[in-house]
Amino acid sequence: MNKEKNLSNKFSSLSEKPPVTLPIFQDKLVSKVNSLTANTCTGSFSNPRNKSFNNEKGHTLSYKTVMDALNKISGVSSSSEFYKQIYSVINQNIESDFIAVGLLKEKSNCINLRLSDKNGNFYSTKIFLKDIDNPIVQVFNTGEVIFKDDVDFMKFSYFRNHAVAILPLISVNKCIGVLIIEDNYARQNIELYKLIANYAALVSHNFELLEQSEGYANTDNLTLLYNHRGFQEILSNEISRAEINKQQLSIVMMDICNITKINRELGHAKGDEVIKLVAEKVRQNIREGDVAGRYGGDEIAIILPNTSDSQAKYIAEYLTYSLSCCFIDDIGPVKVSVGISTYPDCSDDKEKLLILAEQAMYISQAKGYKDGMSAIISSADFNFWDDVALKSYAEVIGKRHAQLGLNFEEELIQKFNADHASLGHKISEIATSLASAIDAKDPYTKGHSTSVSRFSEALARAINLPEDEVERIKLGALLHDVGKIGIPENVLKKEGPLSDEEWAIMKQHPTIGAEKVLTPNPSLRDLIPIVKYHHERIDGKGYPEGLSNGDIPLAAKIVAIADTYHALISDRPYRRGMNIEKAISILKEGAGTQWDEDLVRTFIQIAPSLGV
């Protein structure tokens, strides 16, 4: 009881710290920017209100027009919303194809880069400061503007051969990130862009100060455990300590089951009662030196310093047993799902440890209960490519990708590239899981990749290809759409016709698949012709390279027919799937122009036996 009282007093004192008054307010920003601009700009721009600029169409654009637009930005509650409005100003006045904002993340020693294009798409990646040859890092380190005529350094596959200006975001003599603006007239308009960058830096700094002021309250008012921020800070310190002392560290992640149902049916007061009970039992039963925090709405996370995976399981079992002995009126015993990850065995990266613990927790959820006890799952216990594990991983990444600056597809590619060589004989199994994850991006293409693989295998056997070539075609067909992993979901899932710009993005998926997924894997490079050329046409009107009949590999011709046939007989948002007779008639019509005539003839013979 004394321990609990001390903890309660400690947390109460932390939560009573006074709020911080911000030194910078948004209504003073414009005058501050003007004074900064006047001090930093030289030459003909010393009196900027008399200056005009060129936009991409060659029209003149006045300083006053831009300033009036900037002055109208108000009421934003986050830096992402602010930059969205900044881009709106730029796009309306300068007709830029995109802007990108990169802000420093000190703990990760990287710049989180987020790009917004004129179609409303968003892309994100990380640029690590150790990459000193990257222009983004150079601008951040030197504070000097850099112009580039291509944007490969941003690591986005869809944007190439664009002229950009990369500007530092400097506030109070400190660089906090970069602003990248696409504009073929970037050099002529640079003084205007410096003004915008100065304005953006001050507002970003304002949000940073607000965030710091909120950091004084590190405890959760409901549970008296550390809140998410406090938990993260302690975890960073404990991982550093574990690294120095060459010790293990485990994270236990607990999710309170049915809390949403409890809130809905019994009210939030009853839900809060459950959360408080779990927090109290955790606080009472963890060891001295362990740290617990409210990680999410109904998630409690525990840091266990100097603790192995097996020891963490024992502690988790004891905690779940203690909770199962607690009965709440109208609810019964308290049940939780439990996941564990251990440093450095599972990962030496903090974010990856948390992701793995959450993934294990979701798998625990899926497995349910046995003899009234939770399934306690460690990240060391499951195969990443298992269907349940993959689905759980997708849930975690999907929930957290905005804060992490990563996405499920990028993580899948990295894992695929890392695992394929070591798992050798299981490559088909991994490829199947990868293909299923890609198909899952679009509910109307569920099972598409496996069906195309099956149809392609049947056609390859029908024309008596050697067994090793049949297996190559089967695997290549399974991965034929792997490049869609890099296509925005709003393009993939659009129910109506694609615009010219959206279609241009969609047509990049064969090249993305070949270059981003297959090229890094030596054992898979013989699949590149299948993946890259399965949308080429006999008449030369296909993509990505406009190859004609004799230049298209036989394997790609086979997959092209199988791909089209399955698309025709499958349901789509805009139509029902066709019957076999109708699909065959369309293949006949395109034989000799779109598809190989002899292959179509053979496929038509076997199609009725293939099923759906």
* Domains located in the chain, CATH noted: 26-213 (3.30.450.40), 228-401 (3.30.70.270), 407-609 (1.10.3210.10)
Tokens, residue 197: 């960058």
CB-based contact 321:376 (threshold 8 Å) = no
10-residue mean pLDDT profile of the chain (612 residues): values are 42 36 38 42 37 51 71 71 80 81 85 86 87 94 93 80 91 91 86 87 83 68 87 92 94 87 85 90 89 88 94 91 84 87 88 85 78 77 66 60 48 62 57 65 66 93 94 91 79 79 90 84 86 94 92 95 91 75 93 94 91 69
Q: What is the pLDDT of residue 455?
A: 95
Whole-model pTM?
A: 0.47
Minimal CA–CA distance to 303: which of 242, 255, 260, 245? 242
Which CA distances in Å does 295 have to 108, 151, 320, 357? 20, 38, 18, 12
Placement of tokens 């899926």 in the chain:
366
Q: What is the pLDDT of residue 560?
A: 95
Tokens, residue 326: 């607690």
- Could you say which DSSP state residue 385 is in? T
Q: What is the pLDDT of residue 602?
A: 94
Q: What is the pLDDT of residue 313?
A: 92
CB-based contact 82:202 (threshold 8 Å) = no
Rounded to whole angstroms, how far apart are CA atoms 597 and 583?
15
Q: What is the DSSP string of 426-447?
A: GHHHHHHHHHHHHHTTSGGGTT
Minimal CA–CA distance to 74: which of 180, 201, 172, 203? 203
Tokens, residue 259: 């809390």
Q: What is the pLDDT of residue 576?
A: 78
Burial class (CB in 10 A: 0-12, 13-18, 19+), 155: middle
Q: What is the pLDDT of residue 395?
A: 62
Cis, peptide link before residue 544, omega less than 30° from 0: yes
Tokens, residue 349: 């990266």
Point out which residues pair with 126 in neighbouring strands: 112
Minimal CA–CA distance to 413: which of 399, 395, 433? 433
Q: What is the pLDDT of residue 371?
A: 58
Longest dimension (CA), the chain: 85
Placement of tokens 């009421």 in the chain:
75
